[in-house]
Amino acid sequence: QVKLVESGGDSVQAGGSLRLSCSASGFTLGGNCMGWFRQAPEKEREWVWLAAIYADDDRTYYADSVKGRFTISQDNAKNTVYLLMNDLKPEDSGMYYCARRRGYCSGAGTQGLQRKNFGAWGQGTQVTVSS
């Protein structure tokens, strides 16, 4: 059974940092595109793609809004994907979700990725950034 479990969310001041973790079970990261999305408060229908990594070659992709501040990485031995978030801003607040897409992160480097590109999701972890 495929399962993704996010952790690491917290309340921080603007300018602070957090590292989110996504522990995967029921499959190995290899051959998959792993992504992070955010749902902003009161915008439950808006899924904002943030970052993705292709497990086989560590190639990473970022949305313009987080490029230079967020870093996605993976630990194959732990079957875990991470999202390191630096210089956090109040607009980064929201529920953060990890997701799996079989195969490559196609389109990530051009038009970005969308929720419909991913087939498995975690339950989310809350990040709150105060000014």
pLDDT, tens only, 60-95: 999 999 999 999 999 999 999 999 999 999 999 999
Distance of alpha carbon 88 from alpha carbon 101, whole angstroms: 27
Write the pLDDT tens digit of every residue in 20-68.
Answer: 999 999 999 999 999 999 998 787 778 999 999 998 999 999 999 999 9
64-79: burial string, b at 16+ Cβ within 10 Å, e else: eebeeebbbebeeeeb
CA distances from 83 to 1, 35, 92 (A): 24, 9, 13
Q: What are the beta bridge partners of residue 2?
A: none
Is residue 72 within 8 A of residue 36, CB to CB? The reply is yes
Task: Give the rounded percent of residues in the chain with a pLDDT score beyond 90.
Answer: 88
How large is the average pLDDT for residues 102-129? Answer: 92
